[in-house]
C-alpha cells in the first residue's frame, strides 16, 4: 500500500526548543493534514492545508503545503512537555482516500 515518508522517526528535545518534521510523497495531494496522537487515544487534527504553498499556524504550530504538492512540513515552536506524542502527516487522494505517514514520535525532556 501507499505510505508517506515521514521524518524523523523519533526525536528527543529539550523543553523550549523548536521542532521540525516533514513528509514527502511520490504522489500529488489535494490536501495535507497533520495529526497528533496521545498515548491510548485516537489521532486529533492539528492543522489542515488546502492549497499549494499555503502556510498555516495554530498557536505554536506552523505547517506548510509544499509547492509541488508532494510534501509538507510541521514546525512546533518553544516545545512544552504536553507536546509529547506521535505526530502524523496525511494526504488526501481525491475526495475520500487518506494516506498517512509513518509518524514522528516526539519526546520532550523537561
Partner 1 sequence: EAQVTQNPRYLITVTGKKLTVTCSQNMNHEYMSWYRQDPGLGLRQIYYSMNVEVTDKGDVPEGYKVSRKEKRNFPLILESPSPNQTSLYFCASSLTGGQYEQYFGPGTRLTVT
Among 42, 59, 82, 110, which residue sits at the site for partner 1 (rule: CB under 8 A)?
42
Q: Which range of residues in 35-43, 56-64, 68-76, 77-85 is near partner 1 by CB under 8 A? A: 35-43
Site membership for partner 1, residue 103 (CB under 8 A): yes
Nearer to partner 1, 17 or 92 (CB): 92
Q: Is residue 72 a contact partner of residue 25, using CB atoms and an 8 Å limit? A: no
Cis peptide before 71 (omega within 30 of 0): no
CB of 106 to partner 1, least distance (A): 15
Site membership for partner 1, residue 59 (CB under 8 A): no
CB of 60 to partner 1, least distance (A): 20
All three cell numbers of 35: 495529526
Site membership for partner 1, residue 102 (CB under 8 A): yes
Eight-class DSSP state of 102? -
Q: Is residue 87 a contact partner of residue 74, using CB atoms and an 8 Å limit? A: yes
Task: Determine the Cα–Cα distance for residues 3 and 29; give it in Å rounded to an integer.
Answer: 12
Amino acid at each position: 500500500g501507499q505510505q508517506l515518508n515521514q521524518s524523523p522517526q523519533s526525536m528527543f528535545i529539550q523543553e523550549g526548543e523548536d521542532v521540525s518534521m516533514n513528509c514527502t510523497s511520490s504522489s500529488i495531494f489535494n490536501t495535507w493534514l497533520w495529526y497528533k496522537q496521545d498515548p491510548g487515544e485516537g489521532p486529533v487534527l492539528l492543522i489542515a492545508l488546502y492549497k499549494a504553498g499555503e502556510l498555516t499556524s495554530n498557536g505554536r504550530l506552523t505547517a506548510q503545503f509544499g509547492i509541488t504538492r508532494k510534501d509538507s512540513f510541521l514546525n512546533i515552536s518553544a516545545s512544552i512537555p504536553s507536546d509529547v506524542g506521535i505526530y502524523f502527516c496525511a494526504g488526501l487522494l481525491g475526495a475520500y482516500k487518506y494516506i498517512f505517514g509513518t509518524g514522528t514520535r516526539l519526546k520532550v525532556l523537561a
